């Protein structure tokens, strides 16, 4: 592995401007984040202000031990849980929905940043352990029911989907049970991996170990995360666990009691974000309690007006006291909205720092009032590590045509035209350019004589010049398209380059599943990423990997 270079997030398309301003310590975003991750004292300030009940800690750790033992606990994870059981130990937290085969690559990058940051803080005198919050209560199945992979020549992206049947209607994704379609899913995976992938069997064996018919999606996700990251000491948490739900009671009861105050906080902060020139990430639902009620196969947002609480889209109604009583007796029926989840998470865990992606960091900007109302310090927001992995294939294509990583942002059509014009068609293209120059020079020489004879002829000459220039450029474009057809190899190279580095016009880490790299580089890929991960990352990183039993199909 070799680090090629760092790329400022402001140069990455689609990056939220609020996140960029925060990363770069801009003045516009400073009011929304009490502490900055690059300020050495930020974490110490949070640790000094944070209070965490010992009896709560005991119940929490017992539940985490039980959960992680069920998924396959490593000795390092067990040591971290032992550390967490002691007063004065803090948590560095990250989280994500439970996707197939651990989801897109950025899930791994989140986990590694969390691990690195926990090590870093411990070395700074703030004893910390890394915790991955599995968002098992999410209901957006379309985000997690597939993996995206590339074929051996990188000419096409495939979305391999796992069907969950009618059980998926309205149920939390973490509760979905794996069925007989697993066999078809596994076969599709094998077919997608190139025949010469050195570590395809590693991925398929992981699927066999972790994905069994009758197992839930959350159990399979946790098992695979434990298999891949257990040696680094990562602790996993499923908030749908009964003991964890029991610890959540105070947050739900408090939300019902103070929903109007929270709405006001959210509305005010959203308006401040707009006035600062940014876009609020979370859209406020009027009368929201920020709590969902799950029942009868549906998950409905609870709304409130005065003393009345009701489930959106249904006739189910109750008083505030009845809602609080239900949260006390059956907390497992309630889940937090995206706005309340961070506070719930930080009530359950002694969070000193949270590792999030660009959009996550942006929506935390709206939550300062929630933490003030609860009386708890907001954790320090730390960007997750962000990588684009350049394989040998993409490195060769970049070198062949003298391109940079940022070139892929232009899109296949434009980049192909530029490459053809510069490398394949340079001589003829220069002749077109020379012709235009001569035409313009010749017409410019005519202009004085035309104007002396008839002033209106200068305008006619300009019209003629534009028409001639248009026809020459049109002929040049036709020529380049013809060259493109003649040079299919160049087109294939550019298509492969985009699929490898900018798939679906998005960062690689947001599209490709980690199994794409595991099948080619084995567990050594994870070691490569871990070693490249910084505890306080402030840039996107392009790294190069070399072949290690992962023989990519050649493209001359």
Q: Which of 70-74, 285-289, 406-410 is predicted least confidently?
A: 285-289
Contact present, 97 and 87 (Cβ < 8 Å): no
Q: How far apart are CA 517 and CA 10, in angstroms?
A: 27
What is the bridge-based pairing of β-strands 386-390 and 128-135?
Answer: unpaired
Q: What's the sign of the alpha-carbon dihedral 9, 10, 11, 15?
A: positive
Q: Comparing 443 with 518, which gets the higher pLDDT?
A: 518
How is 123-187 classified by DSSP, letter by letter?
A: HTT--EEEEEEEETT---GGGTSEEEEE-TTS--EEEEE---GGGGTTS-GGGPBP-TTHHHHHH
Q: How far apart are CA 336 and CA 500, in angstroms?
A: 37
In this prediction, residue 428 has a pLDDT band, given cuts at 50, 70 and 90, of: confident
Q: How far apart are CA 247 and CA 58, in angstroms?
A: 11
Tens-digit pLDDT profile for residues 149-208: 998 888 999 999 998 877 666 678 888 899 989 999 999 998 888 777 779 999 999 999
Q: How far apart are CA 387 and CA 536, in angstroms?
A: 14
3-state secondary structure of 290: strand
Percent share of the chain, pLDDT over 90: 73
Residue 547 has what pLDDT?
A: 63
* Residue 553 scores a pLDDT above 50: no
Top mean-pLDDT range of 312-316, 376-380, 415-419:
376-380
Residue 445 has what pLDDT?
A: 86
In this prediction, residue 138 has a pLDDT band, given cuts at 50, 70 and 90, of: confident
Residue 424 has what pLDDT?
A: 60
The burial class, CB within 10 Å (0-12 / 13-18 / 19+), for 503 is: buried
Tens-digit pLDDT profile for residues 250-271: 999 999 999 999 999 999 999 9
In this prediction, residues 446-471 reach a mean pLDDT of 85
Q: Which of 124-128, 293-297, 334-338 is predicted least confidently?
A: 293-297
Residue 169 has what pLDDT?
A: 66
Tens-digit pLDDT profile for residues 211-255: 999 999 999 999 999 999 999 999 999 999 999 999 999 999 999
In this prediction, residue 431 has a pLDDT band, given cuts at 50, 70 and 90, of: confident
Q: Comparing 423 with 177, which gets the higher pLDDT?
A: 177
What is the bridge-based pairing of β-strands 157-161 and 146-150?
Answer: antiparallel
Q: What residues does 157 pair with on adjacent strands?
A: 150
What is the bridge-based pairing of β-strands 540-544 and 2-7?
Answer: antiparallel
Residue 550 has what pLDDT?
A: 43
Strand order in the sheet with 380-383: 235-237, 128-135, 90-97, 351-356, 380-383
Residue 143 has what pLDDT?
A: 87
pTM higher than 0.85 for the full model? yes
Q: How far apart are CA 288 and CA 290, in angstroms?
A: 5
Average pLDDT for the chain: 91
Q: How far apart are CA 298 and CA 327, in angstroms?
A: 17
Place of tokens 């000419």: 155
How is 456-523 classified by DSSP, letter by letter?
A: HHHHHHHHHHHHHHHHHHHHHHHHHHHHHHHTHHHHHHHHHHHHHHSGGGS-HHHHSBTHHHHHHHTT
Secondary structure of 182-249 in the HEC alphabet? HHHHHHHHHHHCCCCECCHHHHHHHHHHHCCCCCEHHHHHHHHHHHHHHHHCCEEECCCCHHHHHHCH
Tens-digit pLDDT profile for residues 367-416: 999 999 999 999 999 999 999 999 999 999 999 999 999 999 999 999 99
The burial class, CB within 10 Å (0-12 / 13-18 / 19+), for 143 is: middle
Side-chain-facing half-sphere of 190: CA atoms under 13 Å: 12
Q: Comparing 334 with 141, which gets the higher pLDDT?
A: 334
Residue 8 has what pLDDT?
A: 96
In this prediction, residues 15-37 reach a mean pLDDT of 95
In this prediction, residues 315-320 reach a mean pLDDT of 92
Q: How far apart are CA 269 and CA 82, in angstroms?
A: 39
| Secondary element (H or E) of residue 250 | helix 249-257
* Residue 63 scores a pLDDT above 90: yes
């Amino acid at each position: 592995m070799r680090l090629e270079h760092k790329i400022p997030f402001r140069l990455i398309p689609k990056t939220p401007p609020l996140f960029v301003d925060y990363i770069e310590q801009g003045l516009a975003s400073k009011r929304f984040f009490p502490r900055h991750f690059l300020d050495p004292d930020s974490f110490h300030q949070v640790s000094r202000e944070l209070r965490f009940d010992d009896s709560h800690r005991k119940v929490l750790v017992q539940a985490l031990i039980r959960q992680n033992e069920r998924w396959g606990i490593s000795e390092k994870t067990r040591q971290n849980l032992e550390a967490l059981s002691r007063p004065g130990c803090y948590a560095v937290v990250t989280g994500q929905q439970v996707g197939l085969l651990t989801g897109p690559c950025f899930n791994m990058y989140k986990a590694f940043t969390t691990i690195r940051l926990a090590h870093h803080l411990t070395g700074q005198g703030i004893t910390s352990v890394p915790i991955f919050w599995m968002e098992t209560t999410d209901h957006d199945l379309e985000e997690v029911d597939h993996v995206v992979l590339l074929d051996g020549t990188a000419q096409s992206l495939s979305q391999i989907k796992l069907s969950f049947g009618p059980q998926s209607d309205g149920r939390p994704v973490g509760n979905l049970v794996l069925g007989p379609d697993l066999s078809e899913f596994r076969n599709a995976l094998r077919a997608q991996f190139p025949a010469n992938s050195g570590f395809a069997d590693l991925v398929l064996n992981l699927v066999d170990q972790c994905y069994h018919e009758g197992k839930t999606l959350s159990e399979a996700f946790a098992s695979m995360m434990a298999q891949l990251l257990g040696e680094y000491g990562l602790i996993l948490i499923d908030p749908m666990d009964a003991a964890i739900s029991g610890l959540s009671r105070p947050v739900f009861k408090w939300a019902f009691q103070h929903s109007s105050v929270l709405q006001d906080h959210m509305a005010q902060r959203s308006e401040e974000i707009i006035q600062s020139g940014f876009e609020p990430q979370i859209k406020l639902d009027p009368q929201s309690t920020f709590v969902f009620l799950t029942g009868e196969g549906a998950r409905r947002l609870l709304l409130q007006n005065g003393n009345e609480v009701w489930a959106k889209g249904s006739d189910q109604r109750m008083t505030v006291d009845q809602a609080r009583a239900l949260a006390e007796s059956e907390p497992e029926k309630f889940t937090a909205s995206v706005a309340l989840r961070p506070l719930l998470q930080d009530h359950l865990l002694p969070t000193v720092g949270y590792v999030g992606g660009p959009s996550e960091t942006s929506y935390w900007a709206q939550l300062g009032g929630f933490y003030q109302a609860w009386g708890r310090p907001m954790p320090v927001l730390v960007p997750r590590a962000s990588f684009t992995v350049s394989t040998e294939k993409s490195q060769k294509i970049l070198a062949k045509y003298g391109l940079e990583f940022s070139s892929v942002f232009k899109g296949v059509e434009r980049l192909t035209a530029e490459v053809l014009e510069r490398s394949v068609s340079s001589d003829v293209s220069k002749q077109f350019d020379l012709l235009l120059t001569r035409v313009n020079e010749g017409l410019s020489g005519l202009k004085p004589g035309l104007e002396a004879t008839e002033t209106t002829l200068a305008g006619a000459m300009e019209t003629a010049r534009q028409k001639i220039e248009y026809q020459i450029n049109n002929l040049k474009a036709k020529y380049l398209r013809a060259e493109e057809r003649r040079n299919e190899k160049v087109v294939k190279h550019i298509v492969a380059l985009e699929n490898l580095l900018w798939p679906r016009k998005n960062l690689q880490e947001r599209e490709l599943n980690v199994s794409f790299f595991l099948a080619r580089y084995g567990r050594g890929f994870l070691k490569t990423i871990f070693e490249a991960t910084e505890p306080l990352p402030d840039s996107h990183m392009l790294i190069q990997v070399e072949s290690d039993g992962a023989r990519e199909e050649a493209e001359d």
